[in-house]
Amino acid sequence: QTVVTQEPSFSVSPGGTVTLTCGLSSGSVSTSHFPSWYHQTPGQAPRTLIYTTSTRSSGVPDRFSGSILGNKAALTITGAQADDESDYYCVLYMGSGISVFGGGTKLTVL
Amino acid sequence: EVQLLESGGGLVQPGGSLRLSCKASGFTFNNYAMSWVRQAPGMGLEWVSTISTAGTFYADSVKGRFTISRDNSKNTLYLQMNSLRADDTAVYYCAKRGLRGTYYFDSWGQGTLVTVSS
């Protein structure tokens, strides 16, 4: 069974830079997994940040960027702001119509 | 503006059935694949099902119990849920997929809560 891995939690200082990663329990993540990223604050619906590895969704500031780093997908936030404090999820497309979410990363800005 | 409005959630006993609906507006509904994603209380997001021109697809956890369908004339997506279990308790989100070949969730509804309990 495919497991998509994310750091359970991460902390960043205001104005700092943080990179969250999205890996596979077995194998490497590539652009062929069409990695996408979402964030969600408590009680709210998710919002789309990044798709097809590095394309920002409409209205997403360029502080957010996506890439492949080594064998993982990555979401980098530069100049972190207080309202970036949120849960961040990645999704990988596994083929045959199947998408798998990572377990999510709780980002704290302090 | 894309809008997705879920309905049909509620309290149901284990073994029961429920049908969720998602009314879409603001885009050409029949041009896009659509998905259901759920979130159990205090837990992460879980992909449930997708319907596209290529067919219907399900997570292993719901295969054989849930059925996704759509009525393009009504711009509405459905999720028929049978043989419900306690671990199906979650907020169910309707999500619009991106352009063909992009495999991501482009827009989200606000969700509808399904509680499976006796």
CB contact under 8 A, B55 and A34: no
Cβ-contact B92, B1 below 8 angstroms: no
Q: In a mutagenesis test of the A interface, which of B103, B106, B107 is the best target, namely the one with the most A β-carbons within 10 Å?
A: B103
Statement: residue A2 has pLDDT above 90: no
pLDDT at A20: 98
Work out the average pLDDT over A25-54. 97
The average pLDDT across A14-42 equals 97
Pairing of strands A105-109, A9-12: parallel
Q: Looking at CA atoms only, how far is residue A72 from chain B in angstroms?
A: 17
CA angle, B19 as apex, B16 and B22 as ends, to 5°?
155
Return the pLDDT at A41. Answer: 96
Secondary structure letter of residue A2 according to DSSP = -
CB A97 to CB B109 under 8 A?
Answer: no
Q: Do B92 and B6 touch, CB atoms closer than 8 A?
A: yes
Burial class (CB in 10 A: 0-12, 13-18, 19+), B44: middle
| Average of per-residue pLDDT across B9-38 | 98
Span A67-78, pLDDT tens digits:
999 999 999 999
B61 burial (CB, 10 Å; 0-12 / 13-18 / 19+) is: middle
Cross-sheet strand order for the sheet of B18-25: B3-7, B18-25, B76-81, B66-71
Band (A100; pLDDT cuts 50, 70, 90): very high
Choose among A40, A47, A51: nearest Cβ to B104.
A51
